[in-house]
Amino acid sequence: MTVPPGSHQAAPVSRGRRLTASLKRSWPWIRYVVGLGLAVLAVWALLGRRGELSGATGYLAHAQLGWALLGGVLELASLVAFALVQQDLLAAGDVTVSGRWITGVTLAATAIANSMPAGPIVSSVFAFRQYRRRGADEALSGWTLAAVFVAASVSLAIVAAAGVGIAGAEGASFGLVGVTIGVLVAAIVMGAVFINHRALDWLVGATLRASRRLFHWPRGDLGARADHIVARVRAVRITAPQVLRVMMWAVLNWLLDCGCLAVCFLTVGVGIPWHGLLLAYGAGQLAANLPVTPGGLGVVEGSLTIALVAFGGAETSTVAAVLLYRIMSFWGELPVGWVIWAGFAWRARREPAATRAPSDKDVAGVVA
């Protein structure tokens, strides 16, 4: 039997493609398992410092309830501020939502992002579906998700840069000035491109043309749909006052969350390390956004404690304050968020079919 030229290469190529596809499907779970492994290592390392941990539990046992309640209020306020970012961005596309509803979406999406494999992607799909149910079309919903990411990135870079400025020479000794300024410049450029109509039009158009030229995608009906979405996104115009208000809420979100951390020191009965607090907080939040563990579990605690101790905080009391902060800002939000998610799911099942959002497959395609 004659073997067509090149046919001996088909099997390896096919196996390679199958292996690549399998890795892509498995990567979220692989990353989740690796992240949990790193979290276990972090816990193991902490258990090796039982003296500090036992001292920290002593501080927590004598926590002052009034300060703890204030910390909880500040953390809730930070979530409300982040919800208002989304509310103003949807308003830029002429979609009005209530503050109570968008806060519920924010709490549920935060719980999803912090506790599931590929949590940020799944939470984006959830938020996308909720935007659609409130009248936003595909393009506006996708644009809002992108704009939320840009606003959060730019505002966090601003907060981190402010932390470096407050820390002064001591902050420079950690080698964070160059990194922070680089992140700030990159974030500002990204934000400027996003809100500049011509720059955004050029970037979106160039990306779509390059994709069609290199990968011949999207084509046909999908290509026509993509063109429609791009045209709709270009029609979204955000004004300068809206940009300023969005950035105000975004920065306030980080500052209120940092305020919760500061109050946690008062809760355990020690002074606040003001000099390095904002810099340590910014570094911790940057670490939380690395795709290592869900919600930065283990990574945030370690980075915050190390940075605050380096700025003069007592090790045992700092561990106690950081653990209390994470109880409020991470663990405490999970059950509340999942209860709210259950409420959204229950309501979705009771909605008439005609009013439901597109299927998960359609939504995932747009978000991706």
Residue 365 is predicted with a pLDDT of: 38
Residue 77 is predicted with a pLDDT of: 97
**From the CB of residue 255, how many other CB atoms can be counted at a distance below 10 Å?**
18
Separation between Cα atoms, residue 125 and residue 368, nearest integer Å: 9
- Across residues 259-272, what is the average pLDDT? 92
Token output for 338: 């999942």
Residue 51 is predicted with a pLDDT of: 44
Residue 111 is predicted with a pLDDT of: 92
| Burial profile 41-68: b = 16 or more Cβ within 10 angstroms, e = fewer | ebeeebeeeeebbebbeebbeebeeebb
| Burial profile 280-299: b = 16 or more Cβ within 10 angstroms, e = fewer | bbbbbbbbbeeebbbbbbbb
pLDDT digits (tens, 9 = 90+) for 42-79: 555 444 444 444 445 656 666 788 999 999 999 999 99
Work out the mean pLDDT of the chain and round it to a whole number: 77
> Could you tell me if residue 94 is left (phi over 0), alpha (psi between -120 and 50 degrees) or otherwise beta?
left
pLDDT digits (tens, 9 = 90+) for 180-238: 777 777 887 878 777 776 666 667 677 767 777 777 766 766 656 666 666 666 667 78
Residue 2 is predicted with a pLDDT of: 53
Residue 213 is predicted with a pLDDT of: 79
Separation between Cα atoms, residue 141 and residue 147, nearest integer Å: 10
